[in-house]
Amino acid sequence: MALSRRTLLGLAAGVPVSAALAACGSSGPSKSGDEATYWYLNGQPQEGVRAGAVDAFNKAHPKEQIKDTTFQNDAYKTKIKTAIGAGQAPTIIWGWGGGTLRTYVEAGQVEDLTSWFGEHSEVKKRLFPSSFGAATVDGKIYAMPCEAVQPIILYYNRKVFDQVGVEPPKSWGDIMALVPKFNAKGIAPFSLGGQSRWTNMMWLEFLFDRIGGPQLFQAIIEGEKNAWSNPDAITALTKMQELVKAHGFVKGFSSITADSNADQALLYTGRAAMMLHGAWSYGIQKSDGGDFVSSGALGYMTFPPVEGGKGDPSDTVGNPAQYLSISSKASAEQKKIAKDFFATGVLQDEEVKKWIDTGSVPIRLGTEKLLAASKSADFLQFTYDIASKAKVFGQSWDQALSPTAAESLLDNIAKLFQLSISPQQFASNLNAVTGK
């Protein structure tokens, strides 16, 4: 008898643990019944637009509810991969398409939406056709393009340019000539959130294109042998390090994270003269920078050509859109809610208006009038022209490549900017991993 009581006590002590373990397993979002879950990035003003679309959908569909959760950009990139791998993915997976989407597809983790888009051709027809490229893997569509087109833009602070008495750069030579002039006045030539690494990558994306043309990176994506050692690539990497060595970037750039928006603050507070950043930066400058944008102090331009380079100056890189996929592990009801959201909740008139208000060009067709009527009409027209007239709209490298190659790329880019590896070492390090 005594022994059995002890057995019970022992079991009782063990039970909370196993109960807790079981709870860990079942509390995951994808199994929570009839409610669809949706994870996306936080940070205003974009977060508000995303949340607004969900709220509007929930109000209009009392029986179909979407529960949204927000994450920081850099943290989200790891979180979502881990959650998908653990079978705990949200119903609606927010992402960047491209190489990461391909890994989800190859693992059978996301729904094939090709036939759904066939049945709902009206949904497909109202979006920019160019936005479907990064949503397509091996001829099938696995994601719904959404939100706005986000090319990378060279921003500058007009007040600072006036103060120093210089003109915006028209070539790489101009950039290198501007650097000492700003440094002499104690103003950083370029702001950069270098700890996030993809921020540094945007520079290389443009230098590679302007110097070697789009075929230079295309060869890398296609896994061509020693593609990183192309003489044009070495030239681009060398020019990059020349700018770092000339103190082209703000002091301490390698410890600044883009998630904190400190890089944006450097530009609108006039501590830095220029910044290469995504089109979303306009909205941040507008909401955080006081009267910086409304007073017309924010200047913007495309990345200038490099002397003797092969790339077309209209070429751009960035995010052709954002992408929403549906987890294949979600229940039938959850999938239905997600699809209804795609059809009647994504990029509806109200959301389109809000994107335009933040200074973004939503990927819905036929918004020209709204764009022209906006307070940010000039910037929107500028973005729209880039997106519609670019000869090549390259996808961000870290999203176009597989996660493994992307991590190696970002790692080596950080070291390149740290001047701890030479362009040749950079090329040979990456030659060893691309194509894998």
What whole-number distance in Å separates Cα of residue 127 and Cα of residue 428? 41
Provide DSSP, 313-359. Answer: TT-EEEES-EEEEEBTTS-HHHHHHHHHHHHHTTT-HHHHHHHHHTT
- Contact assessment for residue 113 and residue 321, using Cβ atoms and an 8 Å cutoff: no
Nearer to other proteins (CB atom), residue 330 or residue 390: 330
Residues near other proteins, by CB under 8 A = 3, 6-7, 9-10, 13-14, 17-18, 21, 77-78, 81-82, 84-85, 103-104, 106-109, 194-195, 250-256, 262, 265-266, 271, 402-404, 406-408, 411, 414-415, 418, 420
Nearer to other proteins (CB atom), residue 370 or residue 421: 421
Q: Which helix (H) or strand (E) holds 10?
A: helix 2-26
Minimum separation from the CB atom of position 92 to other proteins (A): 17
DSSP-derived letter for residue 127 is B
Minimum separation from the CB atom of position 179 to other proteins (A): 18
What whole-number distance in Å separates Cα of residue 30 and Cα of residue 334? 8
Minimum separation from the CB atom of position 196 to other proteins (A): 9
Minimum separation from the CB atom of position 407 to other proteins (A): 4
Nearer to other proteins (CB atom), residue 220 or residue 410: 410
Minimum separation from the CB atom of position 296 to other proteins (A): 24
User: Considering only CA atoms, which of 66, 62, 145, 63 is closest in space to residue 98?
Assistant: 145
User: Considering only CA atoms, which of 250, 233, 295 is closest in space to residue 425?
Assistant: 233
Nearer to other proteins (CB atom), residue 43 or residue 52: 43
User: Which residues are bridge partners to 326 per DSSP?
Assistant: 92
Minimum separation from the CB atom of position 263 to other proteins (A): 10
Minimum separation from the CB atom of position 18 to other proteins (A): 8
Minimum separation from the CB atom of position 414 to other proteins (A): 6
Nearer to other proteins (CB atom), residue 10 or residue 129: 10
User: Which residues are bridge partners to 188 per DSSP?
Assistant: 272
Minimum separation from the CB atom of position 108 to other proteins (A): 8
Nearer to other proteins (CB atom), residue 68 or residue 398: 398
Contacts of 422-426 with CB under 8 Å at 24 or more apart are: 422/241, 423/233, 423/234, 423/237, 423/238, 423/240, 423/241, 424/229, 424/234, 426/228, 426/237
Nearer to other proteins (CB atom), residue 12 or residue 332: 12
Provide DSSP, 44-109. Answer: TTHHHHHHHHHHHHHHH-TTS-EEEEEE-HHHHHHHHHHHHHTT---SEEEE--HHHHHHHHHTT-
Minimum separation from the CB atom of position 54 to other proteins (A): 26
User: Considering only CA atoms, which of 306, 325, 321 is closest in space to residue 101?
Assistant: 325
User: Considering only CA atoms, which of 204, 391, 162, 172 is closest in space to residue 299?
Assistant: 162
What whole-number distance in Å separates Cα of residue 47 and Cα of residue 204? 28
Nearer to other proteins (CB atom), residue 223 or residue 252: 252
Nearer to other proteins (CB atom), residue 4 or residue 121: 4
User: Considering only CA atoms, which of 93, 166, 140, 98 is closest in space to residue 328?
Assistant: 93
Nearer to other proteins (CB atom), residue 261 or residue 374: 261
**Distances in whole angstroms, Cα of residue 340 to Cα of each of 120, 144, 232, 327:** 11, 12, 48, 15
Minimum separation from the CB atom of position 113 to other proteins (A): 19
Nearer to other proteins (CB atom), residue 32 or residue 254: 254
Q: Which helix (H) or strand (E) holds 273?
A: strand 272-278
